[in-house]
Chain A
Amino acid sequence: MATVSFDHATRIYPGTERPAVDALNLHVEDGEFLVLVGPSGCGKSTSLRMLAGLEDVNAGRILIGDRDVTDVQPKDRDIAMVFQNYALYPHMTVADNMGFALKIAGTPKAEIRQRVEEAAKILDLQQYLDRKPKALSGGQRQRVAMGRAIVRQPQVFLMDEPLSNLDAKLRVQTRTQIASLQRRLGVTTVYVTHDQTEALTMGDRIAVLKDGILQQVGTPRDMYDTPANVFVAGFIGSPAMNIGTFPVLEGSASVGSSRLALPREAVTRLTDDDKGHITVGFRPESLDVVPQGTPDAFPVVVNIVEELGSDAYVYGALTNDFGQAASVHSGAGDAQVIVRVDPRQVPPKGSTIYVRIRPTEQHLFHAGSGERIG
């Protein structure tokens, strides 16, 4: 077991000017499950490959425990890339399938057996050790493949989009399995995905990257409740947060014909760069449907209602009453908002509902830099 540290680690691909990963500083605790997440091209896979030794580090360092591995070959880093190649050998027993890498490394037979048995216990495969893979179910075979990585007892597990070629149902199952297995093993794990739901459900902590720059690191709750900037706010959460930029007039955000009261300290922190505007984010569940005429409420024309049983979401358009309609965006597109409504009182398509942001549940950002205020 070990910690992992990226210390100003930078990767610049030959022939490019902008770093693919720019001075990444990130510390992963011993036994922690850290998820690197971001849109494609954000640098998450490059970061993982730098840790694996597959990408050169052009500046900065990478440490596993106290050991500087920046210039160490991948095979000497004591890491395991899980799920990269997991075809099982049909003529070998399950035990041999799990332990053959140790055999190659010259590990004594008794020790191989002991490590295989320990792994089998964790993976619930003990009674199958002397069988051939064909006697196993699909899920059991996948666990044998995991067992291969486990018996090597590496310091760190690395996983790069391991679920991307599974169908949706198996993806959810395997997601839970990996997360619980990691907790039982307590092996430091760095996991890459583009899927923020995967990140939220699996990670002890999440690191969000964009354009090679680390945006924020924190627990899933931190990321959801206090996103550090507009990008993280829009990226984490499904359906996505509604975000709009509005002029500030007399201490309130001017949301079309209505006003949104702003905390005094937020207003005082605005800078010249913000040009008298503020960016306001509100999650679909932070909106209340209110009667027409309620102060600070604004109208939304219902386009679609997505009913999920436990929840229902209105995907709606802002009307002309909403002065800066085009400056609002959400998971549904520009000039669109998503509102969580009571699944037992779903408004009909084409109707207009009036919604109001719960005063304490708004997220405020600088209109200029996009950074969180306060």
Chain B
Amino acid sequence: MSVTPQRLQITAANPDPALLDLPWHVPLEDWPAETLAALPRGISRHIVRFAKMSGRVVAIKEIGETVAYREYELLRQLRKLDVPSVEPVGVITGRRSPEGEPLEAVLITQHLQFSLPYRALFSQSLRPDTATRLIDALAVLLVRLHLAGFYWGDVSLSNTLFRRDAETFAAYLVDAETGDLHDVLTPGQRGYDLEVARVNIIGELMDLQAGEFLDEDEDAVGIGEALVVRYEELWRALTETESFGFGERWRVQARIDRLNDLGFDVGELDITTDLDGTSVRIQPKVVDAGHHSRRLMRLTGLDVQENQARRLLNDLDEFRAATDRQADDEAFVAHDWVTDIFEPAVRSVPRELRGKLEPAQIYHELLDHRWYLSQQQHRDVPMTEVATSYVATILPTRPDEQAVLGTRAEDLRDGDAAGPAADDDLDPERLIG
């Protein structure tokens, strides 16, 4: 019998010819080490690998053909809706081994730079409230997905990636396999997502406890339940109808300000008055996350995450006050702040240390460090001095988080503790056949 040759079918929005150089005729679990990038991986029921391609890193998941196309399309739609999610690169089908055995289709996504799976975060020495901060980030992501009409179906820490965002984290959706886009979600869909999230998170934390990566005394159940509370608070704040007397119209602006504080812009606010005009009802209809990051982008062109933007905008305000330029156009002041303060500070980081953290995150840490030095020395320490001290004492102790290329996954972990990030013996990707 003649062997059926491989005939690849590549579906991609911006096909990179380098895609053709990857060994598609080999099952993913047997890919040669030189092709792979050693990055921490989450728990998955599929085989997932990270590969180097054209100087970047892509995540490759072996999955059924129809499911692959479906997830690819969903991820594309989520990008269009501006929801934080991984960027789909493409789908490849028609793979065959040299012996003619058909191989599973793959879905390729862009690896999110500076992102970390929760298991890697827990294997680093982190602040004790790491779990709570991850939960907060996941609650924001879930609310944003639900506002956009996305039912996830399998919410978990494993299906999320985290990026540092000032003192908090920002969460990104990585796995849309079980998801669906609707015009509006029903209370049942939102409730089910929350329940799945609660149970999965508790399970994931219990697993970390079983592996001794999380203190036995941490209340896994409490942390899982905190997600539900956080989600519901935020959902109410963003969607609740508020009624008040006609004389209290200031409450319209107050509501908008409150939403801005939560990091959301109001795209459309529904205002109705009753027939005799004595009471007013308002309900936000369209809210968009990223209030601060959009404002910073408009003023400076810097594209950073929400809480980083909040921090940078505060520094910009301080700069404006310190230089006594309140009367100047904000855009001009912002331009000077970028060229005189932000860029020199970030540029003072030697090239070899730039893979540690994102520039905006480095600037956030510089601001922390400035506060610390100023407290210590009882004076306003200038940014140039702060940067020198930070680069010498703090930054070298930080792990590289851009993309841990060319290192073994084990190096991501602290000391000799066998971390849960990626353990070749364990190979969490293969836990389900």
In Å, the complex CA distance between A9 and B415 comes to 59
Which of A52, A73, A138 is the one whose CB lies under 8 Å from B433? A138
- Asked if A303 is an interface residue, CB under 8 A from chain B, the answer is no
Q: Which residues of B387-433 have CB atoms within 8 Å of chain A's CB atoms?
A: 420, 423, 425-428, 430-433
What would 10 more interface pairs be, CB under 8 Å, given A85-B200, A165-B177?
A54-B151, A55-B186, A74-B188, A84-B154, A85-B178, A86-B45, A87-B45, A93-B210, A134-B425, A167-B64
- Asked if B192 is an interface residue, CB under 8 A from chain A, the answer is yes
In Å, the complex CA distance between A84 and B184 comes to 22
In Å, the complex CA distance between A88 and B191 comes to 23
Contact A142 B188 (CB under 8 A): no
Chain B residues with CB under 8 A of A165 = 63-64, 67, 177
Known: A96-B206, A96-B210. A90 touches B192 (CB 8 A): no
Contact A91 B211 (CB under 8 A): yes
In Å, the complex CA distance between A150 and B22 comes to 42
Known: A56-B186, A74-B192, A138-B433. A101 touches B199 (CB 8 A): yes
In Å, the complex CA distance between A166 and B104 comes to 10
Contact A89 B43 (CB under 8 A): yes
Q: Which residues of A106-148 have CB atoms within 8 Å of chain B's CB atoms?
A: 133-134, 137-139, 141-142, 145
Contact B433 A139 (CB under 8 A): yes
Contact A164 B426 (CB under 8 A): no
Chain B residues with CB under 8 A of A74 = 188, 191-192, 195
Chain B residues with CB under 8 A of A104 = 199, 202-203, 221, 224
Q: Which residues of B29-72 have CB atoms within 8 Å of chain A's CB atoms?
A: 43-45, 63-64, 66-67
Q: Which residues of B194-210 have CB atoms within 8 Å of chain A's CB atoms?
A: 195-196, 199-200, 202-204, 206-208, 210
Chain B residues with CB under 8 A of A293 = none
Contact B186 A90 (CB under 8 A): no
In Å, the complex CA distance between A211 and B106 comes to 33
Contact A91 B208 (CB under 8 A): yes
In Å, the complex CA distance between A75 and B431 comes to 27
In Å, the complex CA distance between A87 and B156 comes to 11
Chain A residues with CB under 8 A of B153 = 84-85
Q: Nearest Cβ in chain B — how far from A84, in angstroms?
A: 6
Interface centre among B154, B187, B427, B431 (most CB of A within 10 A): B431
Q: How large is the interface on B (under 10, 10 to 19, 20 to 34, 35 or more residues)?
A: 35 or more
Q: Nearest Cβ in chain B — how far from A128, in angstroms?
A: 13
Chain B residues with CB under 8 A of A142 = 432-433
In Å, the complex CA distance between A14 and B184 comes to 8
In Å, the complex CA distance between A91 and B178 comes to 25
Contact B432 A86 (CB under 8 A): yes
Chain B residues with CB under 8 A of A90 = 43, 207, 211, 420, 423, 426, 428, 431
Q: Which residues of B209-236 have CB atoms within 8 Å of chain A's CB atoms?
A: 210-211, 221, 224
Contact A166 B186 (CB under 8 A): no
Known: A75-B192, A91-B420. A134 touches B186 (CB 8 A): no
Q: Nearest Cβ in chain B — how far from A220, in angstroms?
A: 25
Which of B154, B208, B432 is the one whose CB lies under 8 Å from A88? B432
In Å, the complex CA distance between A213 and B158 comes to 39
Q: Nearest Cβ in chain B — how far from A253, in angstroms?
A: 40
Contact A141 B64 (CB under 8 A): no
Q: Nearest Cβ in chain A — how far from B419, in angstroms?
A: 11
Least CB separation from B43: chain A residue: A87
Least CB separation from B158: chain A residue: A87
Which of A52, A87, A92, A93 is the one whose CB lies under 8 Å from B432? A87
In Å, the complex CA distance between A314 and B79 comes to 49
Interface centre among A54, A56, A137 (most CB of B within 10 A): A54
- Asked if B283 is an interface residue, CB under 8 A from chain A, the answer is no
Which of B188, B208, B221, B432 is the one whose CB lies under 8 Å from A56? B188
Q: Which residues of B150-179 have CB atoms within 8 Å of chain A's CB atoms?
A: 151, 153-154, 156, 158, 177-178
In Å, the complex CA distance between A101 and B203 comes to 8
Contact A91 B207 (CB under 8 A): yes
Interface string of A59-85 (1 = CB under 8 A from B): 000000000000001110000000011
In Å, the complex CA distance between A87 and B204 comes to 10
Least CB separation from A85: chain B residue: B154
28 sample A-B contacts, Cβ–Cβ < 8 Å, listed by A number: A15-B183, A52-B192, A54-B189, A54-B192, A55-B189, A73-B187, A73-B188, A75-B192, A84-B196, A87-B44, A87-B431, A88-B43, A88-B431, A89-B43, A90-B207, A90-B211, A90-B428, A90-B431, A92-B210, A101-B203, A137-B433, A138-B432, A138-B433, A139-B433, A141-B432, A142-B432, A145-B432, A165-B177
Chain A residues with CB under 8 A of B192 = 52-54, 74-75
Q: Nearest Cβ in chain A — how far from B264, in angstroms?
A: 23
Interface string of B125-138 (1 = CB under 8 A from A): 00000000000000
Chain B residues with CB under 8 A of A85 = 153-154, 156, 178, 196, 200
Least CB separation from A103: chain B residue: B206
Which of B43, B63, B431 is the one whose CB lies under 8 Å from A141? B431
In Å, the complex CA distance between A14 and B183 comes to 8
- Asked if A100 is an interface residue, CB under 8 A from chain B, the answer is yes
Chain B residues with CB under 8 A of A101 = 199, 203
Contact B66 A89 (CB under 8 A): no
Q: Nearest Cβ in chain B — how far from A98, in angstroms?
A: 11
In Å, the complex CA distance between A73 and B63 comes to 32
In Å, the complex CA distance between A96 and B202 comes to 13
Chain A residues with CB under 8 A of B67 = 164-165
In Å, the complex CA distance between A265 and B432 comes to 58
In Å, the complex CA distance between A166 and B188 comes to 28
Contact B203 A89 (CB under 8 A): yes
Q: Nearest Cβ in chain B — how far from A4, in angstroms?
A: 16
In Å, the complex CA distance between A78 and B44 comes to 27
In Å, the complex CA distance between A167 and B191 comes to 32
Q: Nearest Cβ in chain A — how far from B138, in angstroms?
A: 15
Which of A91, A134, A139 is the one whose CB lies under 8 Å from B210? A91
